[in-house]
Structure 1
């Protein structure tokens, strides 16, 4: 479990997905997270989608779509790209309205 620490850590790569993947890999002692479902509030960006594919996560569930940077269907679908060596099962829109409001409040607090 993690949350976005990009601003707090002054690190563009400190997205919740990457922090969670790093932590899960350390706990499991393996970079392949084959028995993992990743739950996130916002559709993964290109960086996070790439990390999800590389870590072989089989299932991703996200709530809110990201029309500006989403790479799980909004702009492109990197998580199910047939030319890559791994594809994820994808579920979207789970508690989308609630998550959109949480994200609005979160990003507003950063401004």
Structure 2
């Protein structure tokens, strides 16, 4: 069976030539370099992401501080006070209605 020549490689199909192994090494080195660059870029992007998040967090905290918002504890305290005042208002309204009815019966 005749050997098939590979154009430009100076060898036969399936035969390893010095040119072919050098080409594979170059390809592998190129892929390794690309992988290293991609890994470095990912690390850089992760670092940039962290910095952006930190800047956004600081600005939001500054905006919220300028808005003079109340904290959760203070809000819950005032909410409980309002509920107690509402209940007392209902009791006083019922008491007033009872006293008015008593006055109406006397008069």
Which structure is larger by alpha-carbon Rg, 1 or 2? 2
Q: Work out which structure has the larger RCO, using CA pairs closer than 8 Å and 6 or more positions apart in sequence.
A: 1
More strand, by proportion: 1
More helix, by proportion: 2
TM-score by length of 1: 0.16
TM-score by length of 2: 0.16
